[in-house]
A and B are shown apart, each in its own frame.
Chain A
Amino acid sequence: MDAVYTVTMVLLGAAVLMTAMRLIRGRTAFDRIMAMDVLSVLLVSGIAVHAAARDEPANATILVVISLLGFVGSVTAARLASEHAENRAEDRA
């Protein structure tokens, strides 16, 4: 079973690295918000796998809290970013 967990964790780690690269490259604020959203989902997956690998019961409360925080954070950030962009467009006009 150890091999299963190792493979899973390596794949998740690769996913985190690639998403982090998108976070750094961005180009727009929306790309970065999206990357953060993906990272929070990957974090939830990672914690669940980690708990199973160590034979601990997965603490679902933490998982729910992280996924909800990630969601609320993304939606808030997207709204802020769009307001910001609209203000800038008005300034230019």
Chain B
Amino acid sequence: MTAGDVVTAVLLPTGAAFSAVGALGVLRFPDLLTRLHAATKPQTIGLLLILAGVAPQTGSLADAAPLLLVAVFQLITAPVAAQTIGAAAYRTGAIDPATLTLDESSPPGDRA
């Protein structure tokens, strides 16, 4: 095993574990917004770790560099997608107020 293999052996299962636990949260959390938390953060770190784990196996810098591009796109798009879904659900009243301990925003009737 080379040093690169050790990096791969550590990062791949760790990343996949984050993805799996995130998916567990997506399945088990009680309402849409909490599920959205689970769909964003663990999935992002899971993909980043997996890409970092794959990189040493590609052999050359030229083959590994595009993986960086995938990582950057994920970092940009994941929060935007979560915000779009969260904001759309919130605006249309798909959020059950019973799942919130506190709601500082305007009452549902005033939501634009």
Task: Decide if A and B touch, CB cutoff 8 A.
Answer: yes
Q: Are A74 and B85 in contact (CB under 8 A)?
A: yes
Size category, A interface: 35 or more
- Flag if B39 contacts A37 (CB, 8 Å): yes
B interface residue count range (under 10 / 10 to 19 / 20 to 34 / 35 or more) = 35 or more
Q: Is the CB of B47 within 8 A of A41?
A: yes
Interface residues of B (CB under 8 A from A): 1, 5, 8-9, 12-13, 15-17, 19-20, 22-24, 26-27, 32, 35-36, 39, 43-44, 46-47, 50-51, 53-54, 57-59, 63, 66-67, 69-70, 73-74, 77-78, 80-82, 84-85, 88-89, 91-94
12 pairs, CB–CB < 8 Å, chain A vs chain B: A1-B1, A8-B13, A21-B27, A38-B26, A45-B51, A48-B67, A57-B59, A57-B63, A64-B70, A67-B77, A75-B84, A81-B88
